[in-house]
Structure 1
Amino acid sequence: MSVHVAITRSVRPGCEAEFQQALTEFFQSSFSHGGVIGASLLLPPPGSDSREHGILRTFASEAERDAFYASPEFQQWEKRAQTLTEGEAQYRELHGLEAWFREPGSPKPPRWKMAVATLAGVYPTSLLLGALVIPNLHSLPHPVASLIVGACMVTMLTWVVMPLVTKLLHRWLHSNV
């Protein structure tokens, strides 16, 4: 089971471009570590005074995560990052639906809100796939057709639907209502 880790760092004023470039280079080299299966940079909103940068890392397992953070490559990156950032990096492991609702510096929304937002993404996606994809799969064996539908669903939710849903529902998700 994959492990998602959200890291928040406050970048020193004037070091934003250098930090982003150094992190991009480290992202590329970090994939040589077999257990790293994903890495993303979350930038502060344009025009914002925030200097908080978010990093989302995905590992194949807890053991791979631990091996990565103990590696000489990570230790070298950590020393470099400390010259470009202020304070300590904040690490938080994300579980289940929480990975879609990550926001550096903010607490995660309540589970019931995450469930409602997920349903708001899954339901129309399943209707769309049911109308456009499933009718074209009748000649395939059921397990193959199900795999194709599942792959389409996961792809659409991960890269299109849930980013849009969480953006549209951002205020509600992070409010106390």
Structure 2
Amino acid sequence: MEHEGKSITGPVTTLITREIKPDRMNDFEEWVKGIYQVVKGFEGFLGADLIRPRDHSHPEYVVVLRFDEYEHLRAWMGSTEREEWLKRSKEMTVGELNIQEAHGFEPWFTLPDHPHTQVAPAKYKTVILTILALYPPLLALSTFLAFVLPGWPRPL
């Protein structure tokens, strides 16, 4: 699948930011429970999280949706069910809906207070950090197993 000139494979995460009217926060949380029941029936849905606002005078919620692949996310984003649920939320919200998609390891490195102001790290930084985090423990495990199991191949 191509998106903005890039090939996308693997899991995709979507961050949806919405400011809610302060007197409608409880209604919005009930709305989130309802839409969750709908989205979890969609193919490829992996899970969702709700990040509640810290400042109740400016209640901005972040909904995190995870799908196994981009095509399944697009199916949800283009569905009539989603559109109907969004119409129900209009009376509870202020301003426009903000949607940001993150692919691969990006969500690990960008858990923003305001996702629309964050920029994902450069891909090479993500690769370097992943290698530095994974290689040493795997090398230690392989060395330990080679000691415990003499026939085990030596690490590189």
The verdict on a shared fold, with TM-score over 0.5 as the criterion, is yes
Shift of 1:109: 5.8
Distance in 2 (CA, whole Å) between partners of 1:48 and 1:41 is 15
Correspondence for 1:94: 102
Q: Structure 1: which amino acid aligns with 2:118? A: P
Q: Using a 3 Å threshold, how does the CA distance of structure 1 residues 102 and 38 change in structure 2: closer, same or farther?
A: same
Correspondence for 1:43: 52
Question: More helix per residue: 1 or 2?
Answer: 1
Does the alignment pair 1:108 with 2:119? yes
Distance in 2 (CA, whole Å) between partners of 1:104 and 1:77 is 25
| TM score, norm. by length of structure 1 | 0.61
Structure showing greater Rg = 2
Question: Number of residues paired by the alignment?
Answer: 134
Distance in 2 (CA, whole Å) between partners of 1:52 and 1:98 is 22
Q: Structure 1: which amino acid aligns with 2:79? A: S
What do you get for the CA RMSD once the two structures are aligned?
3.4
Does the alignment pair 1:21 with 2:30? yes
Q: Using a 3 Å threshold, how does the CA distance of structure 1 residues 89 and 30 change in structure 2: closer, same or farther?
A: same
Q: After the TM superposition, which residues 149-164 of structure 1 pair with which residues of structure 2 at under 5 Å, given as runs?
A: none
Gaps of 5+ in 1: 143-177
Question: More strand per residue: 1 or 2?
Answer: 2
Q: Structure 2: which amino acid aligns with 1:2? A: P
Alignment check: 8 A CA contact 1:36 1:64 kept = yes
Distance in 2 (CA, whole Å) between partners of 1:44 and 1:103 is 12
| TM score, norm. by length of structure 2 | 0.68
Does the alignment pair 1:85 with 2:93? yes
